[in-house]
Amino acid sequence: MGDDTRDDEQPLPGGASNYGQVVRIGDTVRRPLREYSPAVHTLLRHLEAVGFTGAPRLLDIDEQGREVLTYIEGVVPLFPPPAWSRAPAVAQGVARLVAEYHEAVRSFAPPADAPWNSHVLPGFADSPLICHNDLVRSNVVFRDGRAVALIDFDRAAPARPEWEIGLAVQQWIPLRGEEDPPETAGPRTAARIRAFCDAYGLAPEIRPRVLDVVLASEAAGYEELRRHVDAGDPAYVELWNGGAAERIEQRRHWLAKHHDMLLDAL
């Protein structure tokens, strides 16, 4: 174990399950160890071995029992998302980064008993691909407006590619029609989802399942939010008070209204 205990810890914003527990010390990040950390560590070591630069490197375990990772320089678009992070080109850059990650991880052979922290819904977990599964804005690092790295692999687990893409679409494409006039919101959103799938390279026959993922994940996300709020989790209470539940319901209503048009566009 490392013995680098420092007083100059800088708490890093973002996150929910590790709320307030992730800190920066110099050019390193310290994060709590979890029961699934050994599986994540094997994944990070593989990504380093194959030369994938879009993820932090595992360095050590410090004397406080925290994992020590490299700090990746750049900008993370926290809530409320800045205007630049809403641009279609930014979303397509995220899709290309995810494609690069998936290509790097295809050769990964995880331990048979790896204890992944899976939140993948039934029907989407039967895959050898270890997806990131948490492509929220606070988990993507940008430099000069370009997506360069994924961080926080706590929810990495086996999942189908369309699951990963569906989760990313939720985060990186407006799904309430809020950025366009009502008469053009549907077609523009459909075009952005199609462009995201194109940038990733998602096979045409899989694309209809992206909308299935979005709808199923929105429902599951609402229930998870509600459970944590009822338990008094401060990070989730903050999300609830910030209007997260209302935004989920607005997206579900908008997606249901435009479902057939979006499906045809894919």
Task: Report residue 149 as tokens.
Answer: 């790295």
pLDDT in tens, 171-195: 999 887 777 777 788 889 999 999 9
Nearest-angstrom CA–CA distance, 140 and 138: 6
**pLDDT tops 60 at residue 16:** no
Query: Is 105 within 8 Å of 130 (Cβ atoms)?
Result: yes
pLDDT, residue 5, reads 47
Q: What is the pLDDT of residue 251?
A: 86
234 confidence band (pLDDT: 50, 70, 90): confident
State which of 4-8, 174-178, 252-256 shows the largest mean pLDDT.
252-256
Q: Residue 248 contacts by C-beta under 8 Å, 6 or more apart in sequence?
A: 218, 221, 222, 225
Using CA atoms, how far apart are residues 207 and 216, in angstroms rounded to an integer?
Answer: 15
What does the alpha-carbon distance between residue 103 and residue 106 come to, in Å, rounded to a whole number?
A: 5
Mean per-residue pLDDT for 143-150?
Answer: 96
User: What does the pLDDT look like over 94-128, one tens digit per residue?
Assistant: 999 999 999 999 999 998 888 999 999 999 999 99
pLDDT at residue 35 greater than cutoff 60? yes
Alpha carbon of residue 53 to chain centroid: 17
Bridge partner residues of 67 (DSSP): 31, 61
Task: Quickly state the pLDDT bin for 3 (edges 50, 70, 90).
Answer: very low
Q: Which alpha helices (H) appear in 115-243, and where do they start and end?
A: 161-172, 182-200, 208-230, 234-241
pLDDT tens-place string over residues 62-83: 999 999 999 999 999 987 888 8
Amino acid at 35: E
Strands 66-70 and 58-61, sheet pairing: antiparallel
